[in-house]
Amino acid sequence: MSILDKRPALAAEIDRVAEVAGYLWEKGWAERNGGNITVNITEFIDKDIEAMPAITEPKEIGFYLPGLEGCYFYCKGTNRRMRDLARKPMENGSIIRILPDCTSYVIIADHDIAPTSELPSHLAVHNHLIERKSPYKACVHTHPIELVALTHNNNWLRRDVATKVLWSMIPETKAFAPKGVGIVPYMPPGSKELAEATIRTIDFDYDVVLWEKHGVFAVDTDVMSAFDQIDVLNKSAQIYIAARNMGFIPDGLSEAQMREISRLFNLPK
């Protein structure tokens, strides 16, 4: 039996995670076990789930995260592939419960599948979102080829250089990734320093954070919306690179044209 049985709302949420995992693999953004997804599923938890016994001993998070007390998360498993998660999400991920001490968690379903090694970073971001009273419930980390390629040139690592160029490639990018992309300089994957730098960048009012020479971390109300922001930003990177490969620097939309898009869509920037 699965925790998803006779729980259509929870099952639909996990199905969305599986769908996005498939897209990440199909786009070539999730080589081997690359990338991670965590989703706050607390709103789908009923009293029977609350009473379910743990199937593991408590595991330390490495952070004190008071905003997560009593929360539940679906997490991609460590060393699990997105292409496998897309087919069998409960065999390649697990549901965890944060314990009252706010420093540890247990796995409750369906199997003892250890969450991603970057779970502490993800949970630190979720804790921050809750403390900010943000409606965001999903974190997606993946490796979009063209966006990562841009970070191998220091000119793209200055604040909002990437945002302005990517917005200017096609109107939809500014409309559907309206806060642009923040930049975090290279730090070891899964490190406390990377988590803290990502939180600081989100606090500068970004939903998508580009990690130098590594990948992208996006937050949004749900996993599909987080994916969509990465998708439109990477499309703009593809357009820019295609133009450069054709032998010219693309003009991009003018400042006046981008201001008009902001007015038309009532955008924050």
What type of residue is 88?
A: K
Nearest to 21 by CA among 100, 123, 191, 138: 138
**Phi/psi of residue 35, each to 5°?**
90, 160
Give the residue ranges of DSSP H helices in 8-116. 8-26, 47-50, 82-87
At which residue do the structure tokens 């580009």 appear?
Answer: 210
3-class SS of residue 127 = helix
Dist. CA 244–CA 239, nearest whole Å: 9
Torsion of CA 94, 99, 103, 109, to 10 degrees: -10
Enumerate residues 6+ apart whose C-beta is below 8 A from 111: 55, 90, 91, 94
Catalytic residue among 19, 50, 118, 196: 118
Helix or strand holding residue 95 (H, E): strand 93-98
Q: Which two tokens stand for residue 56?
A: 């593991």
Exposed e or buried b for every residue in 10-21, given b needs 16+ CB within 10 A?
bbebbebbbebb
At which residue do the structure tokens 């133009």 appear?
Answer: 243
Dist. CA 122–CA 193, nearest whole Å: 13
196 is annotated as an active-site residue: no
Cite the active site residues.
Answer: 118
